[in-house]
Amino acid sequence: MNAKIDIALTLNGEAVTGRAEPRMLASDFIRDVLLMTGTHVGCEQGVCGACTIRFNGVVARSCLLFAAQLDGAVVETVESLAAPQDLNDIQKAFRKHHALQCGFCTPGFLMTVSEILQTLPLSTDHEIRDALSGNLCRCTGYEHIVRAVRDLVNQRDGVQA
């Protein structure tokens, strides 16, 4: 019943394979089998957003996917963004605006922000708050996260702050 299956995917640009029981959650597979621990698990019910990844280019809750669903997929996790010594613009904006404290929710926020910057106008702070509302943060009160995203939207749109 719990026989393991082979799962082959592209993870952060690299072809990888792993074996897992079909029932294993994608979040656990990424962390415990593929050993990419930047994706965090906060609720396993799709509420908190800490486990957010890009699944075939679209943000998804990896705790609401089975590992088996990753077979043949293109997956990006927080590790795809940039290295500690060379942060990308989103990471730099988060650092500049102190948009993280304990950092546990941060990978999920970064993955969400990387998508909404591409897909939404985010012309008001209200829109930014709505777009971020699927990711929970218990430390920052969101204020600095909103400021970081506002800065990124302004950079994207060529608006002077």
Partner 1 sequence: MNDAAIPKDIRSAPAPETSRPKYIGERVQRLEDPRLLTGTGRYTADIRFDRMVHLAFVRSDQAHARILGIDTDDAATFPGVIAVLTAQDFSEIPDLVAPSRMKNYHPTHCPVLARDTVRYVGEPVAVVVASDRYLAEDAANAVVVDYEPLGASSDPAAALLGDAVLLHDEVPGNLVLERSFATGDAGSAIAGAAHVVEGRFRLRRKSPMAMEPRAYVADYDRGRDALTLYGATQIPGVVRDELAKLLDIAGNRIRVIAPDVGGGFGGKGSLYPEEIIVAALARRLARPVKYVSDRLEDLTSTSQGFDEYVEARLAFDDDGMFIALEAEVIGDIGAYSIYPWTAALEPVQVASFLPGPYKTPHYRGRVRGVCTPKPPTGPYRGVGRPMAVFALERLVDMAAQKLDMDRAEIRRRNMVQPDEFPHRIGSGIIWNHSGFTECLDAAVKAVDYAGFKARQIAAREQGRWIGLGIGSYAELTGIGSRIAVAPGMPINTGNETATVRIDATGAVIATFATASHGQSLETTLAQIVAEELGVRPQDVQIVQGDTGMTAHGTGTYASRSAVIGGGAAIITTRALLKKVKRVAGRLFDVDPDRVETGDGEIYVPGTNHRIGFDELARAVYSDMATLPLAARETLESQENYDPVLGTTTSSTHIAEVEIDPETLSIRLTRFVVAEDCGRMINPQVVDGQVHGGVVQGIGVALLEELEFDATGQLLSASLADYLIPTSAESPHIEVIHLETVLPDNPGGFRGMGEGGTIGAPAAIANAVADALAHLGIGISELPITPSKLHRLIAAKNLTKDRE
**Residues at the contact surface with partner 1, assessed by CB under 8 A:** 2, 21, 23-24, 28, 31-32, 35-45, 47-48, 50, 77-79, 81-85, 87, 91, 94-96, 98, 100-107, 110, 125, 128-130, 132-146
Choice between 129 and 154, CB closer to partner 1: 129
* Closest distance to partner 1 from the beta carbon of 10 (Å): 17
* Closest distance to partner 1 from the beta carbon of 118 (Å): 19
* Closest distance to partner 1 from the beta carbon of 157 (Å): 20
Choice between 74 and 136, CB closer to partner 1: 136
Please write down the long-range contacts of 52-61, taking CB distance under 8 Å and 24 or more positions apart: 52/107, 52/108, 52/109, 52/111, 52/112, 52/135, 53/26, 53/77, 53/111, 54/80, 54/111, 54/114, 54/115, 58/115, 59/111, 59/112, 59/115
Choice between 138 and 156, CB closer to partner 1: 138
Check if the beta carbon of residue 44 is closer than 8 Å to that of residue 63: yes
* Closest distance to partner 1 from the beta carbon of 11 (Å): 12
Choice between 72 and 133, CB closer to partner 1: 133
Nearest to 113, CA basis, from 73, 140, 141, 151:
151
Q: How far apart are CA 76 and CA 52, in angstroms?
A: 10
* Closest distance to partner 1 from the beta carbon of 46 (Å): 9
Nearest to 113, CA basis, from 98, 134, 87, 139:
134
Choice between 18 and 107, CB closer to partner 1: 107
